[in-house]
Amino acid sequence: MNTILLLNGPNLNLLGQRQPEIYGHATLNDAVTLARAACAEGFGIEAKQSNWEGQLIDWIHEARGHAAGIVINPGALTHTSIALLDALNAFDGPVIEVHVSQVHRREQFRHHSYVSLRADAVIAGLGLEGYAAAVRRICDLTG
């Protein structure tokens, strides 16, 4: 089975609770369920979330030679982590960056993404549907 690594960064464990006026009321488990439902036959999701940058980097390293692709919502690390970018640059498969909110309608600092420098696509503002769209795209690219 082809594995798609679904990574979520800091504070995304609080989806549905934190700032619902921005992120909605759906939870991270809801996002994972949508992602799993979007998988093409022969694909599966390995979903992980961490508030720790180093943990996310370790999981990206482990995905090398194992995962078909990575869907990542890096949370606030999007705008700050060159280390996350470097780890993603060492991964050979497709990487799709996802943001639940439309980051370009928010604070100026959210308009820059280090992860986008590596991402094969960026999905922002589709809510949780962005996760499903990203999974479908990785299935198309690698299936």
**What is the reported pLDDT for 143?**
82
The helix (H) or strand (E) run that includes residue 77 is none
CB half-sphere exposure, 42, CA atoms < 13 A = 7
Rounded CA separation 78/17 (Å): 21
* 100 annotated ligand binder: yes
* 110 annotated ligand binder: yes
Q: Is the pLDDT of residue 101 over 90?
A: no
Q: Which residues of 98-121 are buried (b: 16+ CB within 10 A; e: fewer)?
A: bbbbebeeeeeebeebbbeebbeb
Give the structural domain span for 35.
2-142
Question: Which CATH number do you get for residue 48?
Answer: 3.40.50.9100
Digit-coded pLDDT (tens) for 8-57: 999 999 999 887 777 778 999 999 999 999 999 999 999 999 999 999 99
Digit-coded pLDDT (tens) for 116-137: 999 999 999 999 999 999 999 9
**What is the reported pLDDT for 96?**
98
**What is the reported pLDDT for 27?**
95
Active-site residue, 99 included: yes
Rg of the Cα atoms in the chain: 14
**Which pTM does this prediction carry?**
0.94
3-state secondary structure of 16: coil
Active-site residue, 131 included: no
**What is the reported pLDDT for 105?**
77
Which entry of 25, 99, 111, 114 is annotated as an active-site residue?
99
When divided into structural domains, the chain yields a total of 1
